Amino acid sequence: MRAAVSLLTRLPLTTASSSSPRLSTFPLLHLRSLTVAASTSSSSSPYVTVPTQHQQPTDQLPSSETEGGTRRWRPMCLYHTQDRCTKMDDHTHLEKFNHDFAKDLRVNVVDAGRMSPQDMDYFLVLDLEGKVEILEFPVLLLDAKTLAVVDLFHRFVRPSQMSDQRINEYVEGKYGNFGVDRVWHDTAISFNDTVDQFEGWLKKHRLWVKEQGGQLDRAAFVTCGNWDLKTKIPQQCWVSRMKPPPYFVEWINLKDVYLNFYHRQAKGMMSMMSQLGIPVFGSHHLGIDDTKNITRVLQQMLIDGAHMRITARRKPEFPGGVQFFFEDRII
């Protein structure tokens, strides 16, 4: 028996007669009544590309949501997620792009009694992008009790050991598909600077203080798989000639908790979402969108009563060695 869950969703409504966005609230929409898919295409827009279509099964939505050119889902402004948007007073821009990163992630916990107490106060959902070097570093901070999104840290990351031509090809091949290669070039910073800024962000939220070192305080990383923290962070630290920060020592692999909680396998984010009946928002493999979708899986699991626990920890005595804590794991 699954616990009831509902979304408090603020739906942006645009009208032909007004240039300012009108916000309307449709509370208590059931999670599974929402199905939104978006596709993107290239555009000459200097800003992030607007998806060209929004597929919505209209029979599952209140009629008022689909009338008058209503747009129910908008792409994030990827300048804003990196604290770099200069168009916050431009109504046309605000109508095209979402500037509220928590918008798709509001939940109303109907049956809090079903939820398990957690070992930590916050979860840091992280989903890196970039196979050769890290290209994107998004982290969502989620309150473990209220399931509210507290903050977002998001940076595009510029590879440190590639030629400009190789970087251009690499970025075009990945982010060109989503129409966001321009914003990547406008904003990407080095991995070293990304880590510096991330540590400032952790300090602001009192989750880690550089001077004290050690592990995260009251928080744990949540990833979809072991690749991000087991493999990619150490690789990138080596390439960027920096010592791996101590807070990356352990993490929660959501797939392992999912397997041991629901007793069924899910190979990745998409299969977990499919099995739980959670609609996919945005573009798969755009890190910021994947992070939000993984957060939606995490929220659902917490509502269903899952207890999040550390699934893997690096062994300091064996460089490259990792200890796994669940016997049944997704390999």
Nearer to Zn ion among residue 80 and residue 296 (C-beta): 80
Residues counted in the chain: 331
Other residues' Cβ atoms within 10 Å of the Cβ of residue 153: 23
CB 135 within 8 Å of CB 129: yes
In whole angstroms, the minimum distance from the beta carbon of 91 to Zn ion comes to 12
Nearer to Zn ion among residue 96 and residue 232 (C-beta): 96
Catalytic residue (choose from 54, 205, 284, 285):
285
Nearer to Zn ion among residue 153 and residue 221 (C-beta): 153
In whole angstroms, the minimum distance from the beta carbon of 185 to Zn ion comes to 16
Structure tokens at 159: 């590879």
In whole angstroms, the minimum distance from the beta carbon of 93 to Zn ion comes to 6
Question: Where on the chain is the footprint of Zn ion (CB under 5 A)?
Answer: 77, 80, 85, 87
CA atoms within 13 A on the CB side of 15: 7
30 is catalytic: no
133 is catalytic: no
Structure tokens at 235: 């690789």
In whole angstroms, the minimum distance from the beta carbon of 83 to Zn ion comes to 11
Nearer to Zn ion among residue 74 and residue 296 (C-beta): 74
Nearer to Zn ion among residue 34 and residue 183 (C-beta): 183
In whole angstroms, the minimum distance from the beta carbon of 18 to Zn ion comes to 19
In whole angstroms, the minimum distance from the beta carbon of 247 to Zn ion comes to 30
Nearer to Zn ion among residue 250 and residue 289 (C-beta): 289
Other residues' Cβ atoms within 10 Å of the Cβ of residue 188: 20
Distance CA 169, CA 173 (A): 6
Distance CA 241, CA 220 (A): 25
Catalytic residue (choose from 80, 93, 129, 250):
129
In whole angstroms, the minimum distance from the beta carbon of 114 to Zn ion comes to 38
Nearer to Zn ion among residue 89 and residue 164 (C-beta): 89
Other residues' Cβ atoms within 10 Å of the Cβ of residue 158: 21
Catalytically active residues are 129, 285
